[in-house]
């Protein structure tokens, strides 16, 4: 079974692009708290180690357009999807680069900045803060904790590959 459920905040605005066949694709990095105890969190911070993981999320189709329209840096969302690994040749060095992405099947907007990019009327909001569109229901919560805030520092991939066996 390949199933991933994550809740976190966007580290920067989503990147919306279109394929040559005009299919929307949106990618962003999600800061997901590791859930460390207070003691472990303080130790990690004192040693300048991250207290969150930063998976890359990829969304396709109408859901990608909605994510781009309603999410922005700092927005909190829940992702349901699957892990996908891949590789490509770096054009400059010729080395193989390995990638791990989360392909999102569902995105729940827990607290978004209500951005609009020409999508007026594309969604409707009910009195509970739920957005309804052809892509599904999206919740915009209020008074959520603001653990990550806007003080993100982008973390670069160190290129390590982890192998696990049971």
For the stretch 103-133, pLDDT in tens is 999 999 887 455 444 443 344 444 444 444 4
**Count of domains in the chain?**
1
Confidence band, pLDDT 50/70/90 cuts, at residue 164 = low
Is-contact 52 33, C-beta < 8 A?
A: yes
Question: Has residue 52 been placed in a domain?
Answer: yes
Residue 21 lies in a domain: yes
Tell me whether residue 105 is in a domain.
yes
Q: Dig out the tokens for 32 from the structure.
A: 């997901």
As given in the structure block, the two tokens for residue 57 are 């999320």
Per-residue pLDDT, averaged over 69-89, amounts to: 95
The candidate with the shortest Cα–Cα distance to 11, out of 111, 115, 154, is 154
pTM: 0.66
In this structure, is residue 142 part of a structural domain? no
* Domain presence at residue 162: no
Q: Are 17 and 25 in contact (CB under 8 A)?
A: yes
In a domain, residue 159? The reply is: no
Asked if residue 37 belongs to a domain, the reply is yes
Domain with 105 in it: what CATH number?
2.40.50.140
Q: What is the pLDDT of residues 123-163, one digit of tens each?
A: 444 444 444 444 444 444 444 444 455 555 555 666 655 55
Q: Read off the pLDDT of residues 27-41 as tens digits, 9 standing for 90 and up.
A: 999 999 999 999 999
| Residue 102 domain boundaries | 4-109
Specify the higher pLDDT residue, 151 or 13: 13
Collect all residues with Cβ–Cβ distance below 8 Å to 29 and sequence separation of at least 6: 10, 11, 12, 54, 55, 56, 57, 154
Q: Are strands 52-53 and 24-33 parallel, antiparallel or unpaired?
A: antiparallel
User: Does residue 164 lie within any of the structural domains?
Assistant: no
């Amino acid at each position: 079974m390949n199933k991933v459920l994550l809740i976190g905040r966007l580290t920067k605005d989503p990147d919306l692009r279109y394929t040559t066949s005009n299919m929307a694709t949106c990618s962003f990095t999600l800061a997901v708290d590791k859930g460390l105890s207070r003691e472990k969190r303080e130790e990690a911070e004192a040693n300048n180690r991250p207290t969150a993981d930063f998976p890359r999320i990829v969304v396709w189709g109408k859901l990608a357009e909605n994510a781009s329209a309603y999410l922005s840096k700092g927005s909190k969302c829940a992702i349901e999807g699957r892990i996908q690994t891949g590789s490509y040749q770096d054009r400059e060095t010729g080395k193989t680069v390995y990638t791990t992405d989360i392909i999102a099947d569902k995105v729940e907007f827990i607290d978004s900045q209500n951005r609009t990019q020409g999508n007026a009327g594309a969604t409707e909001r009910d009195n509970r803060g739920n957005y309804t569109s052809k892509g599904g229901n999206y919740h915009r919560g209020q008074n959520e904790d603001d653990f990550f805030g806007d003080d993100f520092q982008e973390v670069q991939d160190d290129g390590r590959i982890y192998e696990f066996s049971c």
